[in-house]
Chain A
């Protein structure tokens, strides 16, 4: 049954997945265990995305299915207990730089980093320099990810990275940049460490920087 449950999520069968979640609960299966199955399913979705079999619609739909399942199992979840107890591959602070409110690229990369066992702190869009600096201080990430869709963001990335440098934090993090108009040319211009064209590039960069844990 649990395999069927995971398969239903991976196959994007939303109603079936929610129905099985109800049945599993009825059979006395613990809600946290069901949530664990959801995570397994999401990892499979992530792998299919990496293989180029799944695309944005599947990432979005699987998130939607998960939302439906969470509604059903929420009462039984042990709040406060971390559902994922394993060691993380690394910590990433991520945001769309100031002046830009686009989030699609950022959200895909975060999804993929998370399914690859990275802990991600999402700062959202139009993130001021000070917010990046503060987050680096507080969260002590291994990596900072900066996203931007507008060509205007090349300069925003440059001054954000300069701000991190001024705060004396540049050496403590690796910085990756990406987004609709960003290319390799922008890496040196902005003072970043690397550029990724796709979410998969971001995962590979993150793994290479953290030792591929």
Chain B
């Protein structure tokens, strides 16, 4: 194995095990930032995959982080795919957004409350015939397919499906699926090859395996936050039943992603469970049991969960103390660093330290001071230097100052 890669892996592993590494590792979530440092636009991240890969390669070579994260998750992918499908649940630069804006989800009530029973009875049928036609406007025809349960008729079912597919709208949707398959597959293959190439150069990718917790699936993708929160009061049992249905799928996706990518870190973006969003009682009922289970199951599968605690999690740190020690990278956004060290210093490796706002609005000196302070709080142990969120708009000279300061103070 590449010596540089070996060193980085050891550095991260030591931090995860709550040991003191040779120096504090630094994790760069570059996201759209290479567009600016490499002379591209945000649109290129979605339309010019070769150029985008090259820009990211140059970026990681330039800053040489111990771990990096770029935009290439399947949910973004090549914009051509979304143009073919007529995706309505996300907007992207060069699509309906201007060329230098980041992609943004369009959250909506794509699943109605009265549809829980259909979902619970047959999730695949519901998702294919109801949900998918709503979020991909060019797949509306799939709504006209017969219930998938009709396939239980075995050799008696082809005429039924044949008649449905003969309908021009259904056939049109099928055509769109075929059409998008090539750019989708090309994208996945190119990205896979790119990360493998970067790995050979000693650059460790933090993505590859990613998942979410059940409440966030329902809230982010299906019912919308408003819908999911109303369900907490009006149909809590159905909400919970749906979350239970999703759990094995979400765990499986993470394990499979790790197997395919060869990356043991599992990125878990957490959205609606943070301090401001729900009460402790609601967190205990709808969020924490599944998050805890997910983290523990991933650890049992030999993986390193990397929950991303977006927002503030200060009131929930006692729950996090229930997790196995020395097995997790907890990425924190705005929680107080000293509080994190006090509460979690003996539980999980904390990835945090640099508010991204400082990398946009600060000076070399304020960035250095913040880096020093963060490392001192953790005494260099159980800490991965990370920005509060993605680096999109960080200033290159401040990013360089941060990387340099981490190496200087973290040694």
A-to-B contact residues, CB < 8 Å: 12, 14, 53-58, 60-61, 64, 99-102, 104, 150-152, 154-155, 180-183, 185-186, 188-189, 198
Task: Give the shortest distance, in Å, between A57 (CB) and chain B (any CB).
Answer: 4
Task: Give the shortest distance, in Å, between B80 (CB) and chain A (any CB).
Answer: 23
- Among B230, B361, B394, the one with the most A-chain Cβ atoms within 10 Å of its Cβ is B361
- List 23 interface pairs A-B (beta carbons < 8 Å), by A numbering: A54-B279, A55-B277, A55-B279, A55-B282, A56-B229, A56-B278, A58-B279, A60-B230, A61-B232, A64-B230, A99-B97, A99-B98, A101-B91, A101-B104, A104-B225, A150-B392, A151-B356, A152-B100, A183-B334, A183-B355, A183-B357, A185-B358, A189-B360
| B276 and A55 within 8 A (CB) | yes
Checking B100, B230, B311, B361 against A61 with a beta-carbon cut-off of 8 angstroms, the contacting residue is: B230
Binary per-residue interface labels of chain B (262-306) against chain A in the complex, 1 for a CB within 8 Å, 0 otherwise = 000000000000001111001000000000000000000000000
Residues of A within 8 A of B278 (CB): 55-57
| A151 and B389 within 8 A (CB) | yes
**Complex Cα gap A64–B355 (Å):** 36
| B361 and A185 within 8 A (CB) | yes
**Complex Cα gap A188–B334 (Å):** 20
Task: Give the shortest distance, in Å, between A31 (CB) and chain B (any CB).
Answer: 24
**Complex Cα gap A152–B394 (Å):** 10
**B341 at the A/B interface (Cβ < 8 Å)?**
no
| A101 and B279 within 8 A (CB) | no
**Complex Cα gap A208–B388 (Å):** 30
**Complex Cα gap A182–B334 (Å):** 10
Residues of B within 8 A of A55 (CB): 276-279, 282
Residues of B within 8 A of A188 (CB): 361
**Complex Cα gap A154–B355 (Å):** 13
Task: Give the shortest distance, in Å, between B31 (CB) and chain A (any CB).
Answer: 9
CB-contacts of B218-270 with A (<8 A): 225-226, 229-230, 232-234
Residues of A within 8 A of B100 (CB): 152
Residues of B within 8 A of A57 (CB): 229-230, 232-233, 278-279, 282
**Complex Cα gap A177–B100 (Å):** 22
Residues of A within 8 A of B201 (CB): none
Given contacts A55-B282, A56-B278, A186-B357, contact A181 B389 (CB under 8 A): yes
| B356 and A181 within 8 A (CB) | yes
Task: Give the shortest distance, in Å, between A81 (CB) and chain B (any CB).
Answer: 29
**B101 at the A/B interface (Cβ < 8 Å)?**
yes
B-to-A contact residues, CB < 8 Å: 91, 97-98, 100-102, 104, 106, 225-226, 229-230, 232-234, 276-279, 282, 310-311, 334, 355-358, 360-362, 388-390, 392-394
Residues of A within 8 A of B102 (CB): 150, 152
Task: Give the shortest distance, in Å, between A29 (CB) and chain B (any CB).
Answer: 26
Residues of A within 8 A of B97 (CB): 99
**Complex Cα gap A189–B310 (Å):** 24
Known: A56-B229, A104-B225, A185-B361. 9 other contacts (CB 8 A): A55-B276, A55-B282, A60-B230, A99-B101, A154-B360, A155-B393, A180-B310, A181-B356, A183-B357
| A151 and B276 within 8 A (CB) | no
**Complex Cα gap A57–B285 (Å):** 13
Task: Give the shortest distance, in Å, between A97 (CB) and chain B (any CB).
Answer: 12
| A60 and B356 within 8 A (CB) | no
Task: Give the shortest distance, in Å, between B380 (CB) and chain A (any CB).
Answer: 25
| A181 and B388 within 8 A (CB) | yes
Residue of A whose beta carbon sits closest to that of B362: A185
Given contacts A185-B355, A189-B361, contact A152 B311 (CB under 8 A): no
Residues of B within 8 A of A104 (CB): 225
Task: Give the shortest distance, in Å, between A189 (CB) and chain B (any CB).
Answer: 4
**Complex Cα gap A63–B282 (Å):** 18
Checking B225, B226, B362, B390 against A151 with a beta-carbon cut-off of 8 angstroms, the contacting residue is: B390
Residues of A within 8 A of B233 (CB): 12, 14, 57, 61
Task: Give the shortest distance, in Å, between A137 (CB) and chain B (any CB).
Answer: 26
**Complex Cα gap A60–B229 (Å):** 7
| A154 and B393 within 8 A (CB) | yes
| B357 and A182 within 8 A (CB) | yes
Residue of A whose beta carbon sits closest to that of B278: A55
Residue of A whose beta carbon sits closest to that of B42: A152
**Complex Cα gap A150–B389 (Å):** 10
**Complex Cα gap A196–B232 (Å):** 28
**Complex Cα gap A181–B232 (Å):** 27
Residues of B within 8 A of A53 (CB): 279
Residues of B within 8 A of A180 (CB): 310-311, 389
Residues of A within 8 A of B355 (CB): 183, 185
**Complex Cα gap A12–B233 (Å):** 8
Task: Give the shortest distance, in Å, between A122 (CB) and chain B (any CB).
Answer: 16
Residue of B whose beta carbon sits closest to that of A198: B276
Residue of A whose beta carbon sits closest to that of B272: A56
**Complex Cα gap A150–B104 (Å):** 9
Residues of A within 8 A of B279 (CB): 53-55, 57-58
Residues of A within 8 A of B226 (CB): 60
- Among A61, A150, A151, the one with the most B-chain Cβ atoms within 10 Å of its Cβ is A151
Residues of A within 8 A of B393 (CB): 151-152, 154-155
| A61 and B356 within 8 A (CB) | no
| B234 and A151 within 8 A (CB) | no
Residue of B whose beta carbon sits closest to that of A153: B393
**Complex Cα gap A182–B233 (Å):** 32
Given contacts A12-B233, A155-B393, contact A181 B357 (CB under 8 A): yes
**Complex Cα gap A138–B251 (Å):** 53
Task: Give the shortest distance, in Å, between B55 (CB) and chain A (any CB).
Answer: 18
Residues of B within 8 A of A102 (CB): 104
Residue of A whose beta carbon sits closest to that of B358: A185
**Complex Cα gap A64–B394 (Å):** 40
Residues of B within 8 A of A60 (CB): 225-226, 229-230
